[in-house]
Amino acid sequence: MTTADDLITLVRAYNPRTDEDMLRRAFAFGAQMHDGQFRHSGEPYFTHPVAVTKILAEQQMDDATLVTALLHDTIEDTKASFAEVEQLFGREIAELVDGVTKLTNLQLTSTQTKQAENFRKLFMATSRDLRVTLVKLADRLHNMRTIKSMRPEKQAQKSHETMEIFAPLAGRMGMQWMREELEDLAFRVLNPEGRSSIIRRFITLQKEAGDVVQKITADMRLELDKAGVAADVVGRAKKPYSIWRKMQEKEQSFSRLSDIYGFRVIAATEADCYRVLGAIHQRWRAVPGRFKDYISQPKSNGYRSIHTTVSGRDGKRVEVQIRTREMHEVAETGVAAHWSYKNGERVENRFAVDPVEWISKLTERLDEDQDHEEFLEAVKLEMYVDQVFCFTPKGDVIKLPRGATPIDFAYAIHTRIGSAIVGAKVDGLRVPLWTRLKNGQSVEAITAEGQTPQATWLDIVVTGRAKTAIRKSLKEEDRERFIKLGRELARVAFENVGKRATEKALRTAAKALAIDGVDDLLSYLGSAQITGRDVVGAIYPDLMQKEGDEVSAARAVVGLSPDTNHKRALCCQPVPGERIMGITYRGQGVVVHAIDCDALVDFEDQPERWVDLHWQEGVHAAVNSVTLDMTISNDAGVLGRLCTLIGEQKANISDLKFIERKPDYYRLMMDIDVRDAEHFHRVQTALEAESNVSSISRHRDPGLAATNQVET
């Protein structure tokens, strides 16, 4: 096991002024706290914090980060407290250790909603001190390096979590080497056969063609010597997961895949970088569309480099990255460059950009009340970016992810411009809004007053910013529509009991139902979250009780013992007046089907489960939901008139879903609550007679038979 002296020797190599005493005290305290604890592999647990610290020391991190790494599990897994760590090592380190503990406790792999909710917390914590995330990433890297000692199901869970969250997070922080290693370690667990097949192909290729990397490296050095440019050239085969991902994206086999080799040229100055590029392009043919200049247009995490792909020896495509030493340090260490030390001094790298700005903008931009799934989607879109750079007509640069459209471009400039876009020009030519933008294009957004975001845009845009703004606008638009519909439903509900739906009456109902204001009340009513009966009953409960002699839903069916639970089948939605049959479910109760329900065929060979039932005589409560499949014209006021017709028939709308929206018609599914078959027939006939209803039918869905569950 690595000793305190070994660790200090490693740190002193880049920071002779390190606080050796604090490192020794932290080492001793961590060893003491973890004494008697062991990892799944059987090793003493403290070997893990030490290994995490070594990973960070290799990135030349500051003392506070190293001490945090040594102690990062003490508050969580030992008797050590925040106050004790603060007393021994200071407030800064105590808060860092506590931050890592909170990230560890987030449990980032559960349901999608929980994952999204925790992702939000992760970014909020990250924005306070990024060193917390650096320690957590190093912690995850060592755990993935030693994952074989865990149970198979736990390996799979951690690997999925690594691939989904930690690997892209490391990439976004600019730590590309860590991202690649995390991906490859997770790939080893999730698809060992795929990884092995790629490695076997590499071995075969090397036997057939020899050491291609060494040959191409020698060719490049020769060309640079001829051009009089001093630079280091390093080549390597790409990681198995990187190749696998390219195979999946391009739908190509390994034999057809090009650019499986990558080369890096480290030059002395920016000017030398472009001289290197010229020498390489002069010697080998450049592949069209594969040139990116991240020196003149850096990535948002500070990454700078020139990327080009050329047809090298024997026609093999090779990717070349050209950068200076300073740029290379940022490319290798990313955000860690902010805390790096050399010769006891904090390193100031002019190319390093603090990603905390990106995280702060992300968390500020997304509303607190936004759906967790939408937040997760937006975060992943932000993290997985492969950027293109486009220009406004004024020459300003707009950074966008690959696959972005003019709509994304417009929203990147301003939400107001994005919402009002009706067309776009790319390099002076009019293009459709779904056009995918390319590097270096000049884009002009054409806007029009009165334009609003369309629902179809959600399938076109790729940026989290655009998706968030579009969804927010659509929700506001839906709210206005629900308020209008709710006002009509309220009017009908009140008129049914001889009352008027005045503003004062609606305010009183909202207060009684604990709803904030009339607009919210009408929105809930229009979106079927509450019923007109609920609203009227909140003010006039006595009027609602006049129907007290109705047959209640609990005793609507005859033929069951008093203690037997029952439920109407979702597939056929039987109503009083129709012939019915029950199917028993052991330990649950009975599901009531219409006698002509297609789902009954599945029980023909189980006669012991059939129960002969019939409806109770008398007036039934209007609580039996039936679904109507309707196609109506897209004209002003049509939906309101239909709601009025339904209310006049003493029926209630319990749900409404739009299936298709076309310029001339809507197709919708409407759930109405009726008393019995006769009541339903009256409602259907009234709607069918409406000139704006082109078709109407009762909707039955055999596919819902499997979801029938008995209420308990």
C-alpha closest to that of 490 among 481, 503, 478, 475: 503
Q: Is 499 helix (H, G, I), strand (E, B) or coil?
A: coil
Residues belonging to the chain: 712
Query: For residue 696, what are its two tokens?
Result: 């109407």
Q: How far is residue 630 CA from its own chain's centroid? A: 34
| Separation CA 489–CA 525 (nearest Å) | 7
Alpha helices in 191-313 (DSSP H): 192-209, 212-227, 240-250, 270-283
* E-strand stretches of 532-683: 557-558, 566-568, 580-585, 589-594, 610-615, 624-633, 652-661, 665-674
C-alpha closest to that of 575 among 630, 628, 620: 620
Torsion of CA 197, 203, 205, 209, to 10 degrees: 180
| Separation CA 479–CA 473 (nearest Å) | 10
Which is it for strands 317-324 and 261-267: parallel, antiparallel or unpaired?
Answer: parallel
> Are the CB atoms for 599 and 580 separated by under 8 Å?
no
Q: How far is residue 7 CA from its own chain's centroid? A: 39
C-alpha closest to that of 327 among 283, 358, 294: 294
Which of these is catalytic: 20, 43, 76, 598?
76
Which of these is catalytic: 19, 20, 43, 77?
77
| 542 is annotated as an active-site residue | no
| Separation CA 541–CA 518 (nearest Å) | 19
C-alpha closest to that of 582 among 605, 609, 545, 602: 609
Query: For residue 86, what are its two tokens?
Result: 């603060």
Residue 559 DSSP code: S
Q: Which residue has the tokens 């409602």?
A: 683
Helix axes 464-495, 372-383, angle to 10 degrees: 160
> Are the CB atoms for 177 and 199 separated by under 8 Å?
no
| 76 is annotated as an active-site residue | yes
Helix axes 532-539, 464-495, angle to 10 degrees: 60
Which are the catalytic amino acids? 76-77
